[in-house]
Structure 1
Amino acid sequence: MSETSGFLSRPDGERLAWRRVEGAGPTVVWLGGFRSDMAGSKAQALAEWAQASGRAYVRFDYFGHGESSGDFAQGTITRWREDALAVLDELTTGEVVLVGSSMGGWIASLAAMAQPERIRALVLVAPAPDFTEKLMEIPPEGHVALKADGVWMRPSEYGEPYPISQSLLDDGARWSILPGPVAIEAPVRILQGGEDPDVPWTHALELAQGLKSRDVVFSLIKDGDHRLSRPQDLQRLVAAVAEVCA
């Protein structure tokens, strides 16, 4: 099946970009990471798998990300959670499998708790719940900038510095889910790199242990990094998604 695309209008006038493959359910829904977009290698690998196997698949960009409208600096966990729920409500029917990468693992968990009756399973790649509190190290000069301006330009190994707002940090605390219990009963598969510099494997394991679900498989890829986008990593991701869809 070919992939279609469009924009989902939000009540405040912003628009979320999406792409969809029609096919058999459950619908696989991709939830990307912080400052990532739906054109990344993992999202693309799943699109190709969906087309080849006749599976329903939806990917989208959050507010302020990728092809969607909005100012990234104004984004919050509340807003991105609402984006995910809007996609579920308006672009999917029936059961869904949520596939969340990094921050997307947090958003997927929050969405699963909001609509548990629709969740077939979750597949999480280097999940980063509570990252605004537990994983984001802010140096003294960052705290000074946040206090003075409400925003800190955080250096990045992946490109230009990017804005971290005080509102993002304050809002993130509202949605903390660790150490649990995390009220998700559906099957969960977690893929985690042992050499991930952004999400320590112990953090992802804490999520696995906090889940109420008894059907949880935690896979440590010892030499894996944060992105887990090597060919063998993409094969593991597709295999995990195919397993929970079966």
Structure 2
Amino acid sequence: MQETQGRLDRGNGTHLAWIKLEGTGPTVVFLPGFRSDMSGDKATALAAFCAARGQAMLRFDYSGHGASSGDFLQGTIGTWAADALAAIDALTAGPLILIGSSMGGWIALLTALARPARVTGLIGIAAAPDFTQRLMWDSMTPAEQATLRRDGVLHVPSQYGDPTPITMKLIEDGARHHVLTGAMPIRCPMRLLHGQADPDVPWELALRIAEQAETADVRVILVKDGDHRLSRPSDLALLRTTLLGLLGQDGA
């Protein structure tokens, strides 16, 4: 199947890069992680899988990420969640299966809460809801918190490349979008994949998501030696199998 691509005008001077596959519904929507984009291993593996099956798929870059325009330092969870809704509303129709990686898992939960009638399934890959508080702010030393308050940005070393800039704007906005605050009225089937060797997001967070989601159809799938990215061939095979299950085509 042929992919089409383009840029979605957000009306504020920002344009979101997107790539779309037409095909059978529901449309699979891939939501990348923090500082990640739609050209990563999981996104491209899913695109190839959907193309071979004739399955509709949408992938895109948040503002300030990948091929999209915008300033990453001005981005927030609210901004990127709004980007996701804008892309979905403008570029898809009918039911959706959301696949969110790391921060994308948080965006997927927010999207499912905002569009409950359309989201028929959700897969989290090392999903990291509320990470701006739990994994950023709460893990900082008092001196780092003071620097962030004073300067508005803190550059934190990253094992994945250049230091990660964390803004006070990101922390403050993230607090307004927490989802693990009680029962989450998400009632679609949910699958949560998480590596138990993940150095960035504790696998126990998947259990908390499962506990608070109102759906009874939720499964947590732990990969004992899996890291945060879950991008090895075996991890990608697990992701494909999990997606097939939500599509009702796993032979079960």
Bin of the TM-score, shorter chain as denominator length:
over 0.9
User: Which position in structure 1 is the counterpart of 2:63?
Assistant: 63
RMSD: 0.9
Equivalent of residue 152 in structure 1, options 133, 154, 161: 154
SS in 1 for 2:211: helix
**Aligned counterparts of 2:141 and 2:19: Cα–Cα separation in 1:** 38
Secondary structure of the corresponding residue to residue 185 of structure 2: coil
Which runs of 5 or more residues in structure 1 are unaligned?
none
Give deviations 1:165-222, integer Å, cap 9, x for gaps.
1010000001111142111000001101011011111112111111100000110101
Q: Give unmatched runs, 5+ long, in structure 2.
A: none
| Residue number in structure 1 paired with 2:102 | 102
Matched, 1:25 2:25: yes
Q: Distance in 2 between matches of 1:93 and 1:70?
A: 26
Contact 1:179 1:207 in 2 (8 A): no
**Distance of 2:18 and 2:140 partners within structure 1:** 33
Q: CA deviation at 1:144?
A: 2.8
Q: Which moved more, 1:139-148 or 1:129-138?
A: 139-148
TM-score scaled by structure 2?
A: 0.96
1:221 maps to amino acid: V
1:98-177 superposed matches below 5 A? 98-136=98-136, 137-177=139-179
Distance 2:150 2:177 in 1: 25
Q: Secondary structure at the match of 2:108?
A: helix
C-alpha distance after superposition, 1:100-129 (max 9, x if no partner) = 000000000000000100011001100000
1:182 aligned residue: 184
CA contact (8 A) 1:179 1:206 kept: no
Q: Aligned letter for 2:118?
A: R
CA–CA separation in structure 1 for the residues paired with 2:221 and 2:181: 19
Rounded Cα–Cα distance in structure 2 between residues aligned with 1:239 and 1:178: 27
How far off is 1:162 after superposition? 2.3
Contact 1:156 1:162 in 2 (8 A): yes
Give the alignment's TM-score, normalised by structure 1: 0.98
Q: CA deviation at 1:142?
A: 2.2
77-86 or 176-185, which deviates more = 176-185
2:179 counterpart letter in structure 1: I
Say which SS state the counterpart of residue 220 (structure 1) adopts: strand
Structure 1 range deviating more: 210-219 or 176-185: 176-185
Q: 1:244 and 1:159 mapped to 2: Cα distance?
A: 34
* Secondary structure, counterpart of 1:93 in structure 2: coil
Q: Confirm or deny: 8 A CA contact 1:194 1:225 kept in the other structure.
A: yes
1:148 Cα deviation (Å)? 1.7
| SS of residue in 2 equivalent to 1:116 | coil
Q: Percent identity?
A: 53
CA distance in 2, matches of 1:216, 1:58: 24
Aligned residues: 246
The question of whether the paired residues in 2 share the 8 Å contact of 1:180 and 1:207 is answered with no
Secondary structure class of the residue paired with 1:18:
strand
Q: Distance in 2 between matches of 1:19 and 1:141?
A: 42
Partner of 1:3: 3
In the other structure, the counterpart of 1:226 is: 228
* Counterpart Cα distance in 2 of 1:242 and 1:48: 14
Separation in 2 of the partners of 1:195 and 1:57? Answer: 30
List, as ranges, runs of 4+ consecutive aligned residues in structure 1 with deviation greater than 4 Å. Answer: none
Once the 2 structures are TM-superposed, how far is the Cα of residue 46 of structure 1 from its aligned partner?
0.4
